[in-house]
Structure 1
């Protein structure tokens, strides 16, 4: 049985982690979904969440050990089998309203003019690079996410996934139990295989520092290779919109 003290120590160990920034600086491996109990292994992170004395399904991923050039990464993406976890494009300054209504965009932060250009560029870049994308593209129910996906891929190819609102909730004041539940579900999503010859795109949200995949910039993308049900996933690359554009 993992004690509360052990859980707290495990959280403290990774409390300063930020997946995107640490990968950006090519430092030590970053943790994935931050659970209340964790043990660290070299080049391998394994997480188990404790709820009412029982473990939630184990979450794990490994970092790709072989450095990939832009050319080899693009070649891999063209072969398919990956998930593009992408944050929506730039939104206007402000906050979603307390009376948030997914059917009323006026209650939400929406894309800025720059954001609309970013979303359009994202789709154009993927098509220029001939990276195959499966339909539908999954989108959070927020207007800024739906518009990002629509500008990039076309509204007819979008499917709203209500679970991605839960990912947004990780940045709000929720209970540890809800956080664990959301992260466990996200792990299941990211470990689900994608057919060869195509890639899955998820237009969602950034994470708080030290939680989930860490903070992402507007239109930042984490490339994930699912390892199969119960096997976790592998983070292959992190790409800003500019870096995606530079793939050759």
Structure 2
């Protein structure tokens, strides 16, 4: 019963923060539209809403570690493993802006979807080749405007907690644009929100930023090796983080 009450509070607080944030984001969107075509400012404030929601949640303890990004306007193709819907809340704690590639259904959620569109996040429809192509083109647009993009190359949350295979899209994008890959390992969010449930669980989670991997000079023939190199780095870092969380 207590868990249900806490979960209800969490989602009510998320809704209240979202309702408060919408007019502020709309104001910033209008104010910065001409001088900030990459919507960096609006995006940063949108991520701050996720941080506020996390602080209002007594069940979650989230933090970030790893490599520091000294130039937040250098565009990266950031890739992370996907454990839970709560990954979005965790990754929003990183101190620079990234546009998230997210499934189209999330953009249809009232208020949340409005904010995502104002922030410049990118929608994609699963299983639709045309939608995937349009989404990657939108990602190229964000990178050209000196804003990083966040892609979870597993494509969907892991059902069993094991790291799934990575798809090529993010790595092709990085090679084609010449942007470096920024690997990020996520651990601990699986317990925060169980797949298929609205219940919120107690979770301590970490996102660790790994060393960027340059793509200058690579061709599309190098994509499979690049993909597996990044997956291996994330798998190793994630395993380390899980051990650290277990012994903490």
Same fold (TM over 0.5): no
Instruction: Please give the TM-score of this superposition, normalised by the length of structure 2.
Output: 0.34
- Greater helix fraction, Structure 1 or Structure 2: 2
Instruction: Please give the TM-score of this superposition, normalised by the length of structure 1.
Output: 0.34
- Greater strand fraction, Structure 1 or Structure 2: 1
